[in-house]
Amino acid sequence: MNSLMAAKAYSAIQDGAMPTAGGAPVGQSGFADMLSSAMGNMTESTRAAETQMASTVQGQGSLIDVVTAVSSAEASLETVMAVRDQVIQAYQEIMRMPI
């Protein structure tokens, strides 16, 4: 995910629509759907990186493809971890609120 994609996603959320993987907004998608999508994307990129590594070990792939796939998987994982940290922080703030 680059900064342009993040800006577009933020803009779409502000307009009341959630972005999808293809970039088209969806009407009333929930937060759980967004988290599920992020986890699915992270899992896909991790599996793609593992597949690239396995094919390179067998002598069928290039090192550049492996590095690219691993970098993509790492970026996806860091994004999911950042979202997780923000969700935990928000939960802790809510729990500290007086009733």
22 lies in some domain: no
State the Rg of the chain over Cα: 17
Total count of domains within the chain: 1
Kindly give the confidence (pLDDT) of every residue in the chain, 99 residues in length, as a single tens digit, with 9 standing for 90 and above: 455 666 666 666 666 555 455 554 555 567 778 778 878 888 888 888 888 888 888 888 788 888 888 888 888 888 888 888 998 999 999 999 887
Which residues have CB under 8 Å from 48's CB, separation 6+? 69, 72, 73
34 lies in some domain: yes
Q: Could you list the residue range(s) of the whole structural domain that residue 54 is in?
A: 30-96
What is the reported pTM?
0.57
19 lies in some domain: no
**3-state SS assignment for residue 47:** helix
Q: What angle do CA 79, 81, 84 make, to 5 degrees?
A: 110
Residue 59 half-sphere exposure toward CB, CA atoms < 13 A: 0
